[in-house]
Structure 1
Amino acid sequence: MAGEEVNQMSHLDDDEINLGDLVRRLWGGKVWIAGTTGVAALVGLFIAAGTPPTYRADALLQLEEKRGQLALPSALSDLAGSEPRSETEIEIIRSRLVLGQAVADAHLDWYAVPRKLPTVLSALAKFGFPLPDVGGLSAFARGDEKLRVDLLEVPAEWIGQSIRLVSNGATGFTVFLPNGAEVEGRVGVPLIDAGRGFALRIGELDAPEAREFDIVHLSETSAISSLRGRLSVTERGRYTGVLELGFTGENPDETERTLHAISQAYLKQNVSRSAAEAESSLAFIESQLPEAEQTLRKAEASLNQYRQAQQAIDLGFEGQSLLTQITNLESELQKLADEEDTLAERYTPNHPTYQQLLSAKSRLQERLERLRSEVGSLPQTQRVVFNLTRDLELAQAGYVELLNRAQELRVMKASTIGNVRIVDQARTAPYPIAPRSARIVALSVLLGLLSGAGLVLLRHMLRRGIQSAKDLEAMGLPVFATINYLPEAAQHRKRQGSLPIYALSKPDDVVIEGFRSLRTSLHFGLIDASTRSLAITSSAPEAGKSFVVTNLGVVAAQAGQRVCIVDADLRRGYLRRYFSVPKVHRGLSEYLAGEVDLEDIVVPGPIPGLYFIPPGQFPPNPSELLMRDRLTDLVNALDQSFDLALFDTPPVLAVTDPMIISRAVGGTILVARYDVTPLGEIEAVQRQFLNSGLRLAGSVLNGFDPRRASESSGYGYGYSYRYAYKRED
């Protein structure tokens, strides 16, 4: 259990460390993130400034109840009539029926727009930069142009194609047709080509010379789709029957005109639908009137005949009272039945309100049954007169009801009033709804921040080289020193002629302090070495091992040691350029071949205590020369004459020479270049040494750049001060 807790704590610690590294990497790449954010903000600002404004027009409609407009008696009308469903009306507004009518009424299937400036130029113009009307810029709009098309007819094959109109100034213009023809025209004068089926009349043109417009005739389907895409219809509140129509466009006047056409088209279809409904209902009622009149006449005749036959004049007071009460009760029962239908849609029969209605209905039915039983106690003559009179009154009520409904429908049909009322006419807001500059810039800044952070993390992920001394130490290689990056030395090998030794020319530089630290580390790190000789190598070229060897030798000599630098790269060695030694000077290759002695190849260095052995002539068989016993003799001789011997060897992964030299010297140090040498190459070098029965004494991290390190990890280190002896006068 204790082990599990320790593992859990270690995982938590790893997570915290990873999160901290992530934050440090992002903070280290703050310059990249700030730059990316700034660029994104500028792009967003230009997009916001270069995007044409979008305006919104709105209108308000009210859907009124249809109650009382159906051609039915009042009882049935109450049951069938209901307020219109808003969802249904919304779909009707968006239908081809309404939008197609709006397209036809307002000629929305054609449009004319000036050529727009590119986004960048439009943004510059919005920021107040004047754009001259020269060259191709004169064709683009500046915002003060006007063009009104009063008539446009095109052949079927030209539908959807652009007709370019170029202003000639004053009232003239030139039209470039899709078939390549050019036609001159004037404002107010129709251009008609009956053979092609083309007609155009410009009602107004206010634009400087060379300004261009695009005129397009859309198909009805395309025009309706365009309207539907920019139209929004919503209900204000729930079950209010109030619909809000919204329409967007770049031209405020055109937007308002289009929405007005849509609302009027919907109003017209609603009126026509109501008129058609009224006409249909009127026809039904007129067909029922003769039958109702016949029923009325028949009831009157039956009552009159019975009265004449029985010499009965009237019901008398008692009978008339019963008739009135029964009629009233039946009317009240009908109302309760209507209310029950309404309550049944909302409540169950167990609801208190529903139970109260059923109780009242039951009481009325009991009273009606009692009255009907009293009718049975009347004399036979009065009972018959009572029934006939009741039939007559029912027939009269039905006939009068039909006459009233017929009159209402005639009025409705004549007045052509639907159940839709325009509360607010279409009107465009004075300020555009888009582009929302603040939102665009804010989103651009956010996108820039995310992109910058992603770029910093991506750069770190794509880096294949060593990032810190910790990487080398994690592989089991002690790091004797970290040499900071020196810009002047980055490309020194490509220079012609002699190369500078920066330990002499810049002794107080931070980089040279790193070599002094290396010198001290080697003094304690190689105490147990068999000889005072050291091979310095790398996994691949361009790691800076020759740079390290030269400056390390100089700082060691400055400390009072006798140092000999040996250029053991018999293939491409160039250390002679640091010491101004001619290429033909005899050196290591001649010594290994037995042609010269040691004292013949040693060259004094630029400071006391420093000596140099050049590579000599590059031999065809360097590996064979190095395998001779003369190499061991050289190491022993240098160990007796010098405090430190530094061998500059070729890269390990390129040739086998470093392995041969490493067997003869006291230790081998691997130079790795920051952000250049891959970890895989270090592993390959270690594996090669292990297979040869050798080991690396340690490593040096060269070319460490604190600024780049801070970008990748958020922290770095380096000397921030100078410390030197103060000369006393």
Structure 2
Amino acid sequence: MINADKDLPNTSSGLSNSSLDLTKSTSEEVIDLRHYFSVINKNKWRIIFLALAVSIFAAIVALNITPIYRATATLLIEADQVKAVSFEEIYGLDSNRKEYYLTQFEVLKSRKIAQAVVEKLDLINHPDFIGKPSAIREFIKDVKSNIPFLPQKKEVVLDGEEESDMVLQLLVKSFLSRLTISPVRKTQLVNITFESSDPQLAALVANTVGEVYIDQNLAAKIGMTETAAGWLTTRLSGLRMRLDESETKLQEYRERENLIDVSNMSGVSGVVGLISNELEQTSKQLVIERHVRNKLLSIVRVINEYGRDNLDMLGTITEITSHNTIQNVKKELVIVGRKVSELSQVYGPKHPKMIAAQAELITVNDNLSNQVHKLITGVEKQLTTSERNINALEEELVRIKAQYQTVTSKEYEYRKLSREVETNRKIYDTFFSRAKETEVTSDFNSAVARFTDRAFRPAYPTTPNKPLIVILAFIVTLGFGVVIAFVVDALNDTFKDAHDVENKLSQRMLGLLPLIHFKKKVGFMLHYFFDESGKKFAESVRTMRTSFVLTQLDKECKTIEVTSSVPGEGKTTTAINLAFALAQVERTILIDADMRKPSVCKRFDIPPYQPGLANLIAGTEKFSECIFHDEVSGLTVMPCGQRPPNPLELLSSPKFSELLAELKLSYDRIIIDTPPVQSVSDALVIAQQADAVIYVVKSDDTRIGVAQEGIGRLVRASAKIAGVVLNKVDTRKTSQSDSYHGYYNEYSYGDELTPVNDTRTLNKNG
């Protein structure tokens, strides 16, 4: 066989592929709202039916759902609880902190509270908590038990106590799933909500949870108080013994050391204070005495240096001259000297007054000398006395220091014993006061919480909200149906309208043929085009004919090939009806070139042995013997003839080209029905001889990729594609928003005109 794809030219493949890709990308980028509306409009009744069906089912389910009642009790958790005596440290909780409230909320949700409520109300025997057998679960269990290769769970054998405990724990778990603890924001209130199919039980459980919480809290406090009281009492005896022991040691130390008052808290009293003052005063006296001694030593050193008889030099010593006696004598000396000087101016040296004055002056000088010597002797005596005082003070200071060390060591030991006594006394007093407080207040405890609102029996169920369920089911199903419609439309890569044909294939759409519904046994009528019931179908064929003729006005288009991508798309039906339409106005011949699976003979009831195209190309029969005239339409039909073993070679032979050339002289239109492009290469070979190719695509069936590949093969074969015909369009799904205007309409306009065998009339009027 000849491989037409390899032999045919490939000059236009790049242009065609690029145009197809450009058109495809452009169509994907643009959001067509009309298309979305069209999808919804097409599927509106299906979506509405689905929504109604689901709503009815939801209503049935809602009617069979057991109503659930919800009851709520409100507790006020006390922040500052009333106490006869305050000893919060025993409980270990600070009620003013945020963590305190969070802890209480968790306690309300604890399994301990839930189990206490379950046992108190005997919920294990209440019908609302008795599990109902599930038919589905039993069915699954039976199926698993009857299938040997499925793993079987090992049954654990429990004794009576373990089994009852397990049942109780499951019941508590179910109880907690219905219980809701919700604190009210920025308050000390907490709501206790319980759900049950029994409204009376819902209210009873909500109230009981609060009561059990309050009772357990009081019991816990009483237990802690009693434990604390017992522990305090036990500790008191040991603390009392320790205090007595420390006081005894202190007293014995006092007696042993003969201590009366060794306290020195104020710094002015006590033995230590006296000794400290004595030590300080003695130290000061010693310093003063040493200063005096040093001063006297310096005076004596100067006296020894000047000499005891050198009155002139000794008179320069400040300590001597500053003495009152010396100053008085010097004043007297000055007075006597002034007197002698005055008398010497009046009297002579031997005058009695002068002699008496001179004697008085000598007496004053002698007195001054005596006084200086006495002062010198007194200084020496003072020095001796000062040294003795210093020695005595130093000895006293040593004695006082030794005494101070002894007293301070005794004070340290005393203070140590006193601190121990004081510490033991404080601890004992604290424990004693707490023990008395606990003993007095052990039978008094305020509640940790109180009810502000008790739960009451609800009059109406909370769930299910049956109208809301039905409305939501309807709305959700509508949305889900729309989504499904969009998904199905997106996954449906077939041709649905003219836009798909033009955008996906980049080809002109010549027309569409509606889907005709017939009984399977009857099939599609051959001359339905001429039947009274087929007016709309005939009009769509004539529209296709007119569109084709108008697109080929400036071309010599006699040989027309009709093909498709795959079998079953209706190319033969399209070729026959197009031939019928053209035969009404022009001389037309229909050739069945599908030598592999011919169907024209069956349609026209031509005997299978009737000679046809294969015989004519092979030269075994004459032209007149290879044609058939249809009396109804006036169409000339050339069947396939005897099915040859080499159809592609026959169609590729020069005789086929010569046959077409001869037919063009006798007929205005030559319609050739060919095999599908994707099946064999016959259509590609015939396309090189045809003046135009009409490509048939089945609506909602032909895949876009398959059609694009078929069109691409024709383009690569340099075929002159006139356009595409969309076949088997279900017009019942069309709407005003569909892009079928100009190709098909449900409403016919006037009566069909009488056929005119004039091509010029058709070309003018369309």
TM over 0.5: yes
Query: Which one has a larger percent helix, Structure 1 or Structure 2?
Result: 2
Q: Could you tell me how far apart the structure 2 residues matched to 1:710 and 1:41 are? A: 27
Q: Which moved more, 1:573-582 or 1:57-66?
A: 57-66
- 1:275-674 paired onto structure 2 within 5 Å: 275-279=222-226, 410=440, 413-414=442-443, 418-474=447-503, 475-488=505-518, 499-506=525-532, 509-530=535-556, 532-559=558-585, 561-607=586-632, 609-674=634-699
- 1:46-195 paired onto structure 2 within 5 Å: 46-64=60-78, 66-69=80-83, 71-72=85-86, 85-109=100-124, 112=127
Change (3 A) 1:80 1:99: closer
Query: Is residue 58 of structure 2 the alignment partner of residue 44 of structure 1?
Result: yes
For the 8 Å contact 1:638–1:645, the answer to whether it is kept is yes
**Amino acid of the residue matched to residue 523 of structure 1?**
V
**Amino acid of the residue matched to residue 103 of structure 2?**
T
Match of 2:176 in 1: 228
Q: Could you tell me how far apart the structure 2 residues matched to 1:622 and 1:456 are? A: 45
SS at match of 1:664: coil
User: Relative contact order, CA 8 A, sep 6+: which one is greater?
Assistant: 2
Change (3 A) 1:714 1:39: farther
**Amino acid of the residue matched to residue 678 of structure 2?**
L
Deviation of 1:457 (Å): 0.5
**Amino acid of the residue matched to residue 622 of structure 1?**
P
Change (3 A) 1:678 1:403: closer
Q: Could you tell me how far apart the structure 2 residues matched to 1:426 and 1:106 are? A: 16
Deviation of 1:80 (Å): 7.7
For the 8 Å contact 1:529–1:667, the answer to whether it is kept is no
Deviation of 1:280 (Å): 5.4
Q: Could you tell me how far apart the structure 2 residues matched to 1:70 and 1:415 are? A: 7
Deviation of 1:62 (Å): 2.9
**Amino acid of the residue matched to residue 419 of structure 1?**
V
Deviation of 1:649 (Å): 0.9
Out of 186, 189, 201, the position equivalent to 1:238 is 186
Change (3 A) 1:249 1:511: same
For the 8 Å contact 2:591–2:670, the answer to whether it is kept is yes
Higher Cα Rg, which structure: 2
For the 8 Å contact 1:573–1:615, the answer to whether it is kept is yes
Q: Could you tell me how far apart the structure 1 residues matched to 2:650 and 2:114 are? A: 96
Q: Which moved more, 1:547-556 or 1:622-631?
A: 622-631
For the 8 Å contact 1:58–1:428, the answer to whether it is kept is no
Deviation of 1:552 (Å): 1.6
Root-mean-square deviation over aligned CA pairs: 4.4
Match of 1:675 in 2: 700
Match of 1:342 in 2: none
Q: Could you tell me how far apart the structure 1 residues matched to 2:182 and 2:84 are? A: 28
Q: Could you tell me how far apart the structure 1 residues matched to 2:565 and 2:629 are? A: 30
TM-score (norm 2): 0.60
Deviation of 1:223 (Å): 3.0
SS at match of 2:493: coil
Q: Could you tell me how far apart the structure 1 residues matched to 2:619 and 2:27 are? A: 62
Out of 697, 711, 727, the position equivalent to 1:686 is 711
For the 8 Å contact 2:83–2:444, the answer to whether it is kept is no
For the 8 Å contact 2:72–2:192, the answer to whether it is kept is yes
Deviation of 1:525 (Å): 2.6
Query: Is residue 723 of structure 2 the alignment partner of residue 698 of structure 1?
Result: yes
Unaligned runs of 5+ in 1: 1-10, 121-135, 137-155, 160-195, 200-214, 296-394
For the 8 Å contact 2:51–2:474, the answer to whether it is kept is yes
Change (3 A) 1:487 1:88: same
Deviation of 1:684 (Å): 1.8
For the 8 Å contact 2:71–2:206, the answer to whether it is kept is yes
Deviation of 1:513 (Å): 0.7
Unaligned runs of 5+ in 2: 1-24, 140-154, 245-424, 755-766
Change (3 A) 1:658 1:441: same
Out of 21, 24, 40, the position equivalent to 1:26 is 40
Match of 1:309 in 2: none
TM-score (norm 1): 0.62
Change (3 A) 1:274 1:83: farther
Q: Could you tell me how far apart the structure 2 residues matched to 1:15 and 1:685 are? A: 25
Deviation of 1:421 (Å): 2.6
1:389-422: CA deviation from partner (whole Å, max 9, x where unpaired): xxxxxx9xxx9xx999958964x54466533333
Q: Could you tell me how far apart the structure 1 residues matched to 2:469 and 2:88 are? A: 60
Q: Which moved more, 1:241-250 or 1:714-723?
A: 714-723
Query: Which one has a larger percent strand, Structure 1 or Structure 2?
Result: 1
Change (3 A) 1:519 1:705: same
1:312-344: CA deviation from partner (whole Å, max 9, x where unpaired): xxxxxxxxxxxxxxxxxxxxxxxxxxxxxxxxx
Change (3 A) 1:546 1:409: same
Change (3 A) 1:548 1:704: same
Q: Could you tell me how far apart the structure 2 residues matched to 1:458 and 1:109 are? A: 51
Change (3 A) 1:14 1:682: closer
**Amino acid of the residue matched to residue 661 of structure 1?**
I
Change (3 A) 1:97 1:592: same
Q: How many residues are matched?
A: 523
1:335-390: CA deviation from partner (whole Å, max 9, x where unpaired): xxxxxxxxxxxxxxxxxxxxxxxxxxxxxxxxxxxxxxxxxxxxxxxxxxxxxxxx
SS at match of 2:549: helix
Q: Could you tell me how far apart the structure 1 residues matched to 2:97 and 2:680 are? A: 95
Query: Is residue 283 of structure 2 the alignment partner of residue 268 of structure 1?
Result: no
For the 8 Å contact 2:564–2:677, the answer to whether it is kept is yes
Q: Could you tell me how far apart the structure 1 residues matched to 2:208 and 2:75 are? A: 14
Q: Could you tell me how far apart the structure 2 residues matched to 1:514 and 1:431 are? A: 64
1:115-149: CA deviation from partner (whole Å, max 9, x where unpaired): 869899xxxxxxxxxxxxxxx9xxxxxxxxxxxxx
For the 8 Å contact 2:569–2:696, the answer to whether it is kept is yes
For the 8 Å contact 1:51–1:435, the answer to whether it is kept is yes
Deviation of 1:426 (Å): 4.3
Q: Could you tell me how far apart the structure 1 residues matched to 2:58 and 2:533 are? A: 50
Q: Could you tell me how far apart the structure 1 residues matched to 2:696 and 2:552 are? A: 16
**Amino acid of the residue matched to residue 595 of structure 1?**
T
Match of 2:199 in 1: 252
Change (3 A) 1:102 1:36: same
For the 8 Å contact 1:480–1:521, the answer to whether it is kept is yes
SS at match of 1:57: strand
Q: Could you tell me how far apart the structure 1 residues matched to 2:695 and 2:236 are? A: 116
Q: Could you tell me how far apart the structure 1 residues matched to 2:75 and 2:649 are? A: 101
Q: Could you tell me how far apart the structure 2 residues matched to 1:81 and 1:562 are? A: 108
**Amino acid of the residue matched to residue 658 of structure 1?**
A
Change (3 A) 1:229 1:582: same
Q: Could you tell me how far apart the structure 2 residues matched to 1:230 and 1:19 are? A: 48
Q: Could you tell me how far apart the structure 2 residues matched to 1:570 and 1:430 are? A: 83
**Amino acid of the residue matched to residue 582 of structure 2?**
A
Change (3 A) 1:18 1:101: same
SS at match of 1:428: coil
